[in-house]
Every structure is written in structure tokens, then in C-alpha cells.
Chains A and B, each alone.
Chain A
Amino acid sequence: MAGKTLYDKLWDDHLVKQRDDGSALIYIDRHLLHEVTSPQAFEGLRLAGRKPWRLDANLATPDHNVPTTDRERGVEGIVDPVSRIQVETLDKNCDEFGILEFKIKDQRQGIVHVIGPEQGATLPGMSIVCGDSHTSTHGAFGCLAHGIGTSEVEHVLATQCLVQQKMKNMLVKVNGKLGPGVTGKDVVLAIIGKIGTAGGTGCAIEFGGEAIRDLSMEARMTICNMSIEAGARVGMVAVDQTTIDYVKDRPFAPKGEMRDRAIEYWKTLHSDDDAVFDKVVELEGSEIMPQVSWGTSPEMVAGVGGNVPDPETEADPIKREGIVRALKYMGLKPNMPITEIKLDRVFIGSCTNSRIEDLREAAAVVKGHKVSPLLKQAMVVPGSGLVKVQAEQEGLDKIFIEAGLEWRDPGCSMCLAMNADKLGQGEHCASTSNRNFEGRQGFGGRTHLVSPAMAAAAAINGHFVDVREMMN
């Protein structure tokens, strides 16, 4: 019999019951909640007279609607009354049901996918869900982690389980070494460019290979975070010493003898050598260039030295139509060099790229330079209150401010523009977020997905440049 993949092991460890109809009950160890996808779930519990199954499995924080300025005023500082009601509703629900919440004024508040790992609330081998598609982030720790809808948020609250069908196993292997200036973000954008936004549909992706093994936990989180942009709800990386070193002293991590037992288990969380995958894709790390998205889907990416594509050269009529539509929306011409795309704003933040390493990489590029006068705004939004504190201890805030970038308070911010941070119509933004959909960052806004280093280089120049040229 063939060995097991990491996904097989995680599935087996969380299987409560296999049903005759092919569905299975899967146990959930950690449930993360935020204000946007939970109110209707709590309301459902109340209407049915149900209580949460296991309180200590839940952890909540407001992130999507919170302002990134004026935070000392707490909830009162949220200008939009509809946003404020949503955050207040989360507070009220957590208080009523007894769920631990890092509220808006708590220093531990932040983007839900940043605070889970930061607190050790995300531990290797856990099953983790949240009403947010970027829950795949936590797979970087060898977790079975994926996004769910609001009905399933209610289902997990009420039963601590989900009804699931087993997915297929897919391996994405990045061989060799990455070049200097090439980051986890470039790797995942290159993967999505290669396999497409539906390339991982129906699959749990494991990212492996030497280039992935060499990455920090922050970079692995960036890659797993965007699995969903490749169509896969689940993205994972096997546990190794890098994982264990990152989690072992976190506040929620086990201590003493319990920790030793946990580490022993965590070390088993990798695919067996003879495991068989349903699908395997390989990339060469040395061939990956810094990436820039030019279109309105995350698969519409090119290396920074490349050009915007010409729809005339696309054979598939549905794809050709998609390119024509995207270029029209983005206001770009076929064959124009990526480096000629002029920018209005730069956003460094989001659950994809707002951790300390991301901020260090951006700061290293802008240090000693000034933001281009062509830009209307360049902003840095740390992923959590604790990331912000650490960045300030390292003096990164001063580097950003001296270069002319705004230094904000933590939240999802301009990744999806549910708070006050948004693009104007027709504006181009170099963004370290995860989605370049039409209108995502503001009505009529035009998003270009890049790494923090590439966003920083674009901020200095007012258009895209190859960040590697600035590093020489």
C-alpha cells in the first residue's frame, strides 16, 4: 500500500465518522471568527436555541471594517455607521456566547490570519476553519485549514464539525533555489500564472521542493494564503524545524512536557516518501522572476521584465475574450512593457503580506529614498497590533515615514476596501494583497498584485521597476 500524503494524515486524524453516502464528519480544532461572516451564524444559533459546542476552540477579532487611523477611539472611531454596527455585533455576540475576542483596542487585534499564527492559536496538525477564503494561510503550519461560508460557521459553532467530501491530493513542487529579490509572493503568483485560477479546484495542494523548504514561515504563509487564488481551498507545507521554531514559544502553544509530546507528533506531519499524488506540477525556482499582475484575475501575471499580453495571440476564445475585457478595465494596451504601467497608489498590507518579514523587505527597499511625487498615496498597514509594535521597535516605521509612506494601524484595509481605505475610479495601485478583481479595492479601481519589495520599489519610482536593479 502506498504511503500517505500530509493531507491524508490530517484527514484521518480528524475523521469523526465516514458516512455511507461518501460524506464525512470532520472535527474542527480551531475556529477563527471575524465581523463580516459571523453575525448571521450567531443569529442562526439564537433562533434555533443552540449553544457553541466547545467555546475554547473559538477565537474572534474584528479586521475587515476597522479603520487604520484614529484607533484610540475604538469602535467610536468607525465613521461608517453600518461598519460600526457590524463590529459592535461581533463584540456583542462574543460577549453573549462567551467567545474569546481580541477587540479593536486590544494590542493583539489584527487580521485574523496574522493573529492565529502569531498567538500560537494555529498549531501544526490542527484543523482550522474561518468564514474567510484566505484561511488556507494556516496550512503553512501543516494544518488542514480552509475557508467556509456563514452556514458552515454556524455548523462549526453548533457541532465542532463540518460535513466534508475528501479532496484530491495535488503536489506543487518548486525545485532549486530562488534568485535574490524573488519572494514567496512571486512564487505563488508564478504558480497561479502557470496552473490558472481553477488549477487546484477540488484539490488540497501541498507545496514542496527545495525552494519551499528554504522559505521562512512568513513566506510559506504568503504562498498558502493564495492557494485559493489557484482554486484550492487548502494549501499546505510539511512541518519541519522552521515550523517548530516559529510556534514553540507562542502564547497559546503547549508548555513543558506537553510541548515535547506535541513536537513529537508535529514531526510526523509530512507526506510519506512513497505517497502518491493525483496531480503533480513542478516549477524551477531559478526561473521565477518578480511578478506583476496586469489583469483582473490572479492568473493574469507576468514577470516584471515582460509585457502585457496581446489577445490576438491567445488561441482559446473564452480566454481571449477575458484578456480583451481585462485590458479594457485596466486601461492597458497589448504588448506594453510592465515597467511602463504608471501608478497612483501603493498598498503594503493584507493577510498575504503584512507580517514583520514583509515590512522588513519593503523597508529595506525604501530606506534612503522618497516616494515618487507622481503617487497620490503610499501606505503601510501592519497585520496586527503586535506586528506594529515589533516594526516600531526595529525602527521600520521611521524608515517608511521618512520615505513618505503612511504608517497605519492594523486591519484588512485596502485589500478589499470595506473600511475608508480605497482606490478612486481608474486609479492604478501596486498592492501586496491577493485579489485583482474588478472593483475589489474600490469602485473602478485597478489593482496590480506584487510582493512587498516590488510594491516598495514601485512607490519610489511611480511605476513598476525590477526591484533587483535597486538592490545592486
Chain B
Amino acid sequence: MRALKQHQGIVAPMDRSNVDTDMIIPKQFLKSIKRTGFGPNLFDELRYMDEGKPDQDCSQRPINPDFVLNQDRYKNASVLLARRNFGCGSSREHAPWALEDFGFRVIIAPSFADIFYNNCFKNGLLPIVLNEEIVGQLFRETEAEEGYHLSVDLEAKTVTTPSGEFFSFEVDDFRRHCLLNGLDDIGVTLEDAGAIRAYEESRRKTAPWLFGAGG
């Protein structure tokens, strides 16, 4: 996983609440058995006028000029600004894969759905919760100024605007540590292999029916 310590990038405003993972990456693209290549189909049904198909050349498709990521000023955005409950619905990790593949590194919203929030950290993507009022302000500033960008410092847990105003955010220590260092958390867990075996041994005594049945 790519580490993320600091990031500065153009902000794209996704001005709707309850953006679900079906919207982020529709089901027909979930048939891939790879982790990469989902970027061209990010927000497929909003971005294009036709129905997308897997393995299609998206450069030839009719685009929806009203959709935010199709506007020139947001094409190179790497910070996504969103409304409440972003990433709700299906647990598909293809959603953060698609966002990351498009070029996003940071998503800012007043709230995220739990599974999506967790999936982001596994893929070098930082979801940041800021309160509704601040997010509202960032939407206004983003829309008012072309090229508007934000600087994010995961070490210091701050988001800074071009005018120097900054906002602090919360993130739990384990996730922050893994993202700062680009750690594979399976490796971290396996350092506790002894504790896992000890747990199994004691559980086998108290609840033996959980082991070896059927499988």
C-alpha cells in the first residue's frame, strides 16, 4: 500500500448526500478479478450518458458535461469533497479502488459509512471527517475559486486552506500509523500469531463445537 503523510491537491465538489458504492462503481465492473483499472468507470452512471460495459474503451463514450469530474477545472482533482454518509451500501472494495485509480488520495465529508471508511485505509486513501459547517464552507470556497486546493497533513491531523486557515480532524492511531508507513496490516497481525494460537487453544476447550465441524 502507498503511504500517505502529506498531500496537497485540487478539490472536486461532489454535492450530494448518501453517495452509495453502487454509484461509485456500478455492479457490472465488479466482475473483474483484478484490483486495478477501475478509474475510467468511477461514477460511471453519472459520468457518461450511456450504459457502461466492462472492458470498454471509455474515451469513445458520450460524457455528461454537467457531471463535476467532467469539468476541466476538476479533471486533475485528488481531494474529493462530499456530503454526509458517503460510501453507504455495498462493502465492495472496488469503490476505493476506483477512487484511488482515478487519482483521489483524500475524501472529506461530514460522515462516512463504516465499511467504506475502513476500506479506504487499506488502499492508501484517507477519509477525513469534518463537521457539516466546515464542509459547507469548503464547498463554497471550492466552487468560488478555480484551482482551489487543500493541504492535508496526516501526521499533524490537519487540513489547510489556501488562505492558511486550518482544521483539525480525528483518526484512530492504528489506521494512521499504517497509512503513514504504508504498512501491510496482515504482516502486523501475524506478529501476534502466538496470541492467536493461544486464543484458539483456550476457545477449543470452552467451545469445541466451533472447530472442525462440517468443513
Which of the 9-residue segments A195-203, A271-279, A353-361, A369-377 touches chain B? A195-203
B27 in complex: contacting residue of A123, A165, A416, CB < 8 Å: A416
Please determine whether B89 and A133 come into contact, CB atoms closer than 8 angstroms: yes
Distance of A418 Cα from B212 Cα, bound (Å): 34
Please determine whether A56 and B212 come into contact, CB atoms closer than 8 angstroms: yes
Q: Does A465 contact B (CB under 8 A)?
A: no
Please determine whether B185 and A83 come into contact, CB atoms closer than 8 angstroms: no
Q: A17-B195, A437-B20, A437-B22 are in contact. Are A56 and B213 (CB under 8 A)?
A: yes
Residue of A nearest to B173 (CB): A21
Q: How far is the CB of B205 from chain A (nearest CB, A)?
A: 11
Distance of A160 Cα from B214 Cα, bound (Å): 17
A23 in complex: contacting residue of B18, B54, B174, CB < 8 Å: B174
Please determine whether A439 and B26 come into contact, CB atoms closer than 8 angstroms: yes
Taking CB atoms, residues of chain A closer than 8 Å to B212 are 56
Distance of A43 Cα from B35 Cα, bound (Å): 10
Taking CB atoms, residues of chain A closer than 8 Å to B188 are 163
Distance of A89 Cα from B32 Cα, bound (Å): 11
Please determine whether A149 and B119 come into contact, CB atoms closer than 8 angstroms: yes
Distance of A133 Cα from B94 Cα, bound (Å): 13
Please indicate which of the listed interface residues B23, B26, B96 has the most CB atoms of chain A within 10 Å of its own CB.
B26
Q: How far is the CB of B129 from chain A (nearest CB, A)?
A: 11
Q: Does B134 contact A (CB under 8 A)?
A: no
Q: Does B30 contact A (CB under 8 A)?
A: yes
Taking CB atoms, residues of chain A closer than 8 Å to B26 are 439, 443
Chain A positions 127-179 with a Cβ under 8 Å from a chain B Cβ: 131-133, 146-152, 154-155, 158-161, 163, 165
Please determine whether B33 and A43 come into contact, CB atoms closer than 8 angstroms: yes
Please indicate which of the listed interface residues B23, B93, B184, B190 has the most CB atoms of chain A within 10 Å of its own CB.
B93
Q: Does A231 contact B (CB under 8 A)?
A: yes
Distance of A378 Cα from B111 Cα, bound (Å): 38
B22 in complex: contacting residue of A131, A158, A262, A438, CB < 8 Å: A438
Taking CB atoms, residues of chain A closer than 8 Å to B17 are 318-319, 322
Q: Does B181 contact A (CB under 8 A)?
A: no
Q: Does B88 contact A (CB under 8 A)?
A: yes
Please determine whether A16 and B122 come into contact, CB atoms closer than 8 angstroms: no
Task: Type the 1/0 row for B130-165, where 1 means its CB is closer than 8 Å to any CB of A.
Answer: 000000000000000000000000000000000000
Please determine whether A25 and B195 come into contact, CB atoms closer than 8 angstroms: yes
Taking CB atoms, residues of chain A closer than 8 Å to B35 are 40, 43, 150
Chain A positions 439-462 with a Cβ under 8 Å from a chain B Cβ: 439-440, 443-444
Residue of A nearest to B209 (CB): A254
Distance of A323 Cα from B43 Cα, bound (Å): 20
Taking CB atoms, residues of chain B closer than 8 Å to A100 are 214-215
Q: Does B45 contact A (CB under 8 A)?
A: yes
Please determine whether A325 and B123 come into contact, CB atoms closer than 8 angstroms: no
Q: Does A384 contact B (CB under 8 A)?
A: no
Q: How far is the CB of B21 from chain A (nearest CB, A)?
A: 9
Q: How far is the CB of B5 from chain A (nearest CB, A)?
A: 18
Q: A27-B203, A163-B185, A322-B16 are in contact. Are A151 and B89 (CB under 8 A)?
A: no
Please determine whether A65 and B214 come into contact, CB atoms closer than 8 angstroms: no
Interface residues on A, range: 35 or more
Taking CB atoms, residues of chain A closer than 8 Å to B91 are 37, 131-133, 147-149
Please determine whether A19 and B31 come into contact, CB atoms closer than 8 angstroms: no
Task: Type the 1/0 row for A48-71, where 1 means its CB is closer than 8 Å to any CB of B.
Answer: 101001111111000011000000
B214 in complex: contacting residue of A23, A119, A258, CB < 8 Å: A119
Q: A163-B189, A197-B18, A231-B113 are in contact. Are A25 and B33 (CB under 8 A)?
A: no
Taking CB atoms, residues of chain B closer than 8 Å to A322 are 16-18
Please determine whether A82 and B115 come into contact, CB atoms closer than 8 angstroms: no
Q: Does A337 contact B (CB under 8 A)?
A: no
Q: Does A321 contact B (CB under 8 A)?
A: yes
Q: How far is the CB of A16 from chain B (nearest CB, A)?
A: 4
Taking CB atoms, residues of chain B closer than 8 Å to A428 are none
Q: How far is the CB of A104 from chain B (nearest CB, A)?
A: 16
Q: How far is the CB of B190 from chain A (nearest CB, A)?
A: 6
Q: A37-B91, A43-B33 are in contact. Are A231 and B114 (CB under 8 A)?
A: yes
Please determine whether A158 and B85 come into contact, CB atoms closer than 8 angstroms: no
Q: How far is the CB of B142 from chain A (nearest CB, A)?
A: 16
Q: Does B83 contact A (CB under 8 A)?
A: yes
Taking CB atoms, residues of chain B closer than 8 Å to A158 are 186, 189-190
Distance of A102 Cα from B208 Cα, bound (Å): 24
Please determine whether B33 and A437 come into contact, CB atoms closer than 8 angstroms: no
Taking CB atoms, residues of chain B closer than 8 Å to A6 are none
B189 in complex: contacting residue of A25, A150, A439, CB < 8 Å: A25
Q: How far is the CB of B93 from chain A (nearest CB, A)?
A: 4
Distance of A450 Cα from B168 Cα, bound (Å): 43
Please determine whether B33 and A39 come into contact, CB atoms closer than 8 angstroms: yes
Q: Does A251 contact B (CB under 8 A)?
A: yes
Please determine whether B199 and A16 come into contact, CB atoms closer than 8 angstroms: yes
Distance of A23 Cα from B203 Cα, bound (Å): 21
Q: How far is the CB of B45 from chain A (nearest CB, A)?
A: 5
A82 in complex: contacting residue of B31, B85, B123, CB < 8 Å: B31
Q: Does A233 contact B (CB under 8 A)?
A: yes
Please indicate which of the listed interface residues B90, B118, B200 has the most CB atoms of chain A within 10 Å of its own CB.
B90
A147 in complex: contacting residue of B20, B115, B193, CB < 8 Å: B115
Taking CB atoms, residues of chain B closer than 8 Å to A133 are 89-91, 115
Q: Does B28 contact A (CB under 8 A)?
A: yes
Q: Does A29 contact B (CB under 8 A)?
A: yes
Q: Does A252 contact B (CB under 8 A)?
A: yes
Q: Does A120 contact B (CB under 8 A)?
A: yes
Can you give 17 contacting A-B residue pairs, CB < 8 Å? A16-B196, A23-B172, A25-B192, A43-B33, A50-B186, A82-B32, A119-B214, A123-B210, A148-B118, A149-B91, A151-B93, A154-B186, A297-B18, A297-B20, A416-B27, A439-B23, A440-B22
Given contacts A21-B174, A161-B196, 11 further A-B contacts (CB under 8 A): A37-B91, A40-B34, A56-B212, A56-B214, A82-B55, A120-B214, A149-B119, A233-B114, A297-B20, A325-B16, A439-B23
Instruction: Name B residues whose Cβ lies closer than 8 Å to a Cβ of A.
Output: 16-18, 20, 22-23, 26-28, 30-35, 45, 51, 54-55, 83-85, 88-93, 96, 111, 113-115, 118-119, 122-123, 172-175, 177, 184-186, 188-190, 192-193, 195-196, 199-200, 203, 206-215
